[in-house]
Structure 1
């Protein structure tokens, strides 16, 4: 099983992109999987900085971390609206990541790239089988 890298200086690694792209998921599901993979990396950093586990992070801790992230500076083109949007993406990713961890019977921090991608692939297939208007179970 592939481990998720700890570096946050890129959205996804070539390995992560290749694993997501190798699926037969629709584009929106591949996008959601990519966001969750990146969010997991960010959540690991936030939890580590706070000295707690991901499942005990509060929304406010996530928002505060995004607000203070030096890579999201206004001089680099990031405005407060983007920071709020990004914080919401990370917070929203917690729901499926918690579900994946629960189904895999591991801590969120221990999730692998393969586990995350496989879960999204399974959910996309179930949604398609049930009809396009369905969303993942949660």
Structure 2
């Protein structure tokens, strides 16, 4: 599984975001992709995914096996990363008034741009 497609990377790079916010946007896009897979395999909505389900998915996905063998804490780290990504995903889905699994890359980027703009105005 790719972290980001070339098109997604271009869209994020073109966004009016700081480097930190671009990183967060990239992470949210990748997390959404992973959470969609977990959601489908567990037959639940993304909002209901539990850390144990993420950890089991990581342990059972062959693309992660090398990382798990290299670092015994990888599955825990990756689980925390995906679970933390739920917060901005939930906020973006609420702003768009759609379920998380229906968010598009364009909508996520737009949400991060709006958040960044608000943060700048508050400072």
Instruction: Give the structure-1-normalised TM-score.
Output: 0.82
Task: Give the distance between the partners of 2:54 and 2:32, measured in 1 at CA.
Answer: 12
Deviation at 1:83, TM superposition (A): 2.3
In the alignment, which of 73, 86, 89 is matched to residue 97 of structure 1? 89
Aligned length: 123
- How far off is 1:59 after superposition? 1.9
- The answer as to 2:99 corresponding to 1:107 is yes
Unaligned runs of 5+ in 2: none
Structure 2 matches for 1:44-123, cutoff 5 A?
A: 44-74=36-66, 78-123=70-115
Partner Cα separation in structure 2 for residue 61 and residue 15 of structure 1: 30
**Cα shift readout 1:54-93 (whole Å, capped 9, x = no counterpart):** 1111122112212222111137874222222211111101
Measure, in 1, the Cα distance between the counterparts of 2:72 and 2:79.
10
User: Is structure 2 residue 32 aligned with structure 1 residue 40?
Assistant: yes
The answer to which structure has the higher helix fraction is: 2
Task: Give the whole-Å Cα distance in 1 for the aligned partners of 2:104 and 2:94.
Answer: 13
For structure 1, the 5+ residue unaligned runs are 1-8, 132-138
In 2, are the aligned partners of 1:72 and 1:78 still within 8 Å (CA)? no
* RMSD, aligned α-carbons: 1.6
| Residues 100 and 119 in structure 1, CA contact (< 8 A), matched pair in contact too | yes
Q: Where does residue 30 of structure 1 map in the other structure?
A: 22
TM-score, normalised to structure 2's length?
0.91
